[in-house]
Structure formats: C-alpha cells, structure tokens
Homo-oligomer: A and B are copies of this chain.
C-alpha cells in the first residue's frame, strides 16, 4: 500500500498530486534546484503503523517501515536485508564524555557497509516498480557502492560514473558488484554532467542524491529505527555528519514522522557536524549568511562537499529540531575513530566518526550538557578507508620472539 499523496517543492512550496504528474524528480517550476519532499497521508498511516503493529512485525530490516515509503510493493524479501542495524547503549564512552546517556547507531553493518544502502534499496525497489532495467548515478563513494550492491542483488544493470581519481578500494567494491563502471577523465563536475547526459539520453533510472526524492525516504529509516530501538523515548540530541545535506534532512524527516504519528515522545535536537576543512553549513550558520562554495580539505571524503546539493532540507533539520551546527578538525575526527573503536568496538570511517567528534566538541563547548542524552549515528564502516584507519590507529609494538624481550618493552602493566 502506497500512502504517498503528493510532492511539495522545498524551494517554492508548490504542491503536486502524486501520480498525476508521473514520477517526479524535481519541481517543474524551479528546475533542478527544486528538490521535492514527498507528502504522505499520515492519518491513514497512523491506523496501520502502530506500536502494536511494530511489536508483531517480524521483519527486522528497514522494510518494516514500508508504510512510510512511496512504494507500491508489499513484500521486500527479495531485496538486500538493509537496516535494523545495532543501537548500542554506551557504558565506557558515556563515562569518558561525562554525559547522562549515550547510544551509538552502527550503520556500518549494512550489506555494503554504509547508511547509503537505505537510499539505494528504496531507489532499486522504485526502479523495478516503474519497469526500469537500468539505474545510474555519479559518485565516488558509498552511494555508488550501495547502488551497485542493491542493483546486483535485484538483477538491475547499473552505470556508475566516477572521477578518474577515485580510490582503488571503492572501485573494487563497485567492480565486484558487476557495475558498468566509467572512470571519467575529469573532475567531479564533469563526471556529474556526463552521467546526466547519459541518463537523459538513455532513459535510465536516476539515483543521484539531491535530485531523486525517494532516496530520503530510505535514509530516514535510520531515524525510525533509532526511535523504535529506544522504545520511542528519544535522546535529547542526535548527532550526524553532514556533506551534501541529504542524510541530515532525512534523519529529521524520520524523527518528525515518528512524532507526528504519535509514536515518539519528541523530536531530538539535531547536531549537524562538518569538518573544519569543508564546512559551508557551519560557516553560513555562524555568520547568518547564505551558503558559499568552499574548498574540500578533509580526510572525511564522504562529507567533503563544497557545494551541498540539499541545503534546504539540511538547514530545516537543524532549525526545525532546535539543534545546532558544529565543525571538527581532522585530528579530532581521527581521535574520535580511536575512541569509538577502543571504548565501543565500533570501527567507523572518518566521515562516520565526525559525528562522534562533534559530540565531544559540543560537550566541551557546553552545547551538550552533562545531564543530557545523546545518540551518535555512525554512517559507514572503517574498513571502507583502511588508509585513514591506519593514520588514526598508530603502530603496533615490534618485539623479538622471547618473553624477556616482551617484558622489556613495558607493554605488560
């Protein structure tokens, strides 16, 4: 059952009936910048998606929330099992930070090891529903690998466009999933334009974030899960790393829906975290100005976005929730990687560790207070970026093979 009833442009506010205009990508008045919200019939959803429904539901994946997805299908067992990732109640990191309660959502345990699986899963389901056999995107990162994985599992063909400088590890994942992988001799802008031209000409389904409105309806499931895993009593804060703004916008949407459905007790304050090497949202927030294109100088490649494509949804997430923006240095990100790993056993890639670094910084600044509760979203697995893992990790102790030599090192205390 598809409860979507319309689209609403995030720029001009125009509304469009669902289905009347076919499948819409962006606003017909505002063009490509007119990113759409999908509007749902919450009064109908409210009757279906109740606490008792969720208690009975045995589908422990993001597909348990299909009532909140703009999809016609009723069974998603043939897709990758995305979501229902662990939410850990922290003991050691909480004590280290000196706050009342801390939870860590480990989205790096998704099938292709990042939160982006949630968006790609919904995109692939929608592509199949609409009769496409091919789906395409341009990206160097987790969006691309998640799309390639979900599409392979569902039997869709993919064309993935990456800039030629894309790191080898990410190429490996894409190629193993059988993507038609095109390394474009040019920068990301040229790559995006080529993908756009090919998608337009060949009529492939478009999984470019910041264009396709169904993607956010997948990503928001991370918030729906957090709410349910917390038994609908949410933490004061939820911290999330921010690149182009799609994920933070989706996280807010999920919490807002849980609240509007009468399931969650409130909407948490959202802490948007960027790297100081690339923080257009933080700069704009602090100076009270519009976003300005910035350089992309950070190890956190997944959030290194100098010109965010989803500014409206991102700013709405922080403003609407009463949260704030904060930036952290690469050194703080590496320190947060070590902290998450050594105190919680969660290995997060740099962009995913930024949210934890932001929480540390926000506590130091007094933005988060000691009697408050916090959830940190880790968006991707550290195995995605072993090079920076090693930068954070330091070195092993080298030792000759004797007990005497071992004891002389002083490692055993």
A: residues with CB less than 8 A from B are 60, 77-78, 80-81, 84, 86, 88-89, 91-92, 106, 109-113, 148-155, 159, 162, 164, 168-169, 171-178, 180-186, 190-191, 193-194, 197-198, 201-202, 337-338, 341-347, 381-384, 386, 389-390, 392-403, 406, 409, 411-412
Tell me the bound Cα distance from A151 to B342 in angstroms. 9
Beyond A153-B88, A176-B389, A194-B403, is A383–B113 a contact (Cβ under 8 Å)? yes
A245 to chain B minimum Cβ distance, whole angstroms, is 26
Name, among A149, A153, A194, the residue most crowded by chain B CB atoms within 10 Å (CB to CB): A153
Q: Are B113 and A171 in contact (CB under 8 A)?
A: no
10 closest cross-chain pairs (CB), A and B: A178-B342, A153-B345, A175-B393, A176-B341, A172-B389, A383-B383, A81-B86, A190-B401, A181-B396, A152-B345
Name, among A162, A181, A386, the residue most crowded by chain B CB atoms within 10 Å (CB to CB): A386
B77, B91, B112, B392: the one contacting A176 at CB < 8 Å is B392
> Given the complex, which residues of B lie within 8 Å of A106, measured CB to CB?
111
B201, B396, B403: the one contacting A198 at CB < 8 Å is B403
- Would you mind naming 7 contact pairs between A and B with Cβ atoms under 8 Å apart? A150-B345, A173-B382, A176-B341, A178-B338, A183-B399, A190-B401, A202-B412
A408 to chain B minimum Cβ distance, whole angstroms, is 12
> Given the complex, which residues of B lie within 8 Å of A402, measured CB to CB?
194
A320 to chain B minimum Cβ distance, whole angstroms, is 31
Q: Are A341 and B178 in contact (CB under 8 A)?
A: yes
Q: Are B401 and A152 in contact (CB under 8 A)?
A: no
> Given the complex, which residues of B lie within 8 Å of A183, measured CB to CB?
396-399
B150, B178, B347: the one contacting A177 at CB < 8 Å is B347
Q: Are A176 and B88 in contact (CB under 8 A)?
A: no
A150 to chain B minimum Cβ distance, whole angstroms, is 6
Name, among A111, A194, A398, the residue most crowded by chain B CB atoms within 10 Å (CB to CB): A111
Name, among A198, A338, A396, A412, the residue most crowded by chain B CB atoms within 10 Å (CB to CB): A396
> Given the complex, which residues of B lie within 8 Å of A389, measured CB to CB?
169, 172-173, 176
A127 to chain B minimum Cβ distance, whole angstroms, is 14
Q: Are B109 and A86 in contact (CB under 8 A)?
A: no
Tell me the bound Cα distance from A401 to B177 in angstroms. 24
Residue of B nearest to A192 (CB): B401
> Given the complex, which residues of B lie within 8 Å of A89, measured CB to CB?
77-78
Q: Are B152 and A191 in contact (CB under 8 A)?
A: no
Residue of B nearest to A113 (CB): B383
> Given the complex, which residues of B lie within 8 Å of A337, measured CB to CB?
176
A146 to chain B minimum Cβ distance, whole angstroms, is 10
Q: Are A176 and B401 in contact (CB under 8 A)?
A: no
> Given the complex, which residues of B lie within 8 Å of A176, measured CB to CB?
337-338, 341-342, 347, 382, 389, 392-393
Q: Are A198 and B401 in contact (CB under 8 A)?
A: no
> Given the complex, which residues of B lie within 8 Å of A149, measured CB to CB?
341, 345, 347
Q: Are B172 and A396 in contact (CB under 8 A)?
A: no
Q: Are B390 and A171 in contact (CB under 8 A)?
A: yes
Tell me the bound Cα distance from A178 to B92 in angstroms. 13
B91, B111, B150, B154: the one contacting A155 at CB < 8 Å is B91
Tell me the bound Cα distance from A383 to B111 in angstroms. 11
Beyond A86-B111, A396-B162, A406-B198, is A168–B390 a contact (Cβ under 8 Å)? yes
Tell me the bound Cα distance from A383 to B197 in angstroms. 32
Beyond A172-B389, A399-B184, is A194–B152 a contact (Cβ under 8 Å)? no
Q: Are B341 and A169 in contact (CB under 8 A)?
A: no
Residue of B nearest to A200 (CB): B403
Beyond A112-B347, A180-B411, A397-B181, is A403–B197 a contact (Cβ under 8 Å)? yes
> Given the complex, which residues of B lie within 8 Å of A386, measured CB to CB?
168-169, 172, 386
A79 to chain B minimum Cβ distance, whole angstroms, is 9
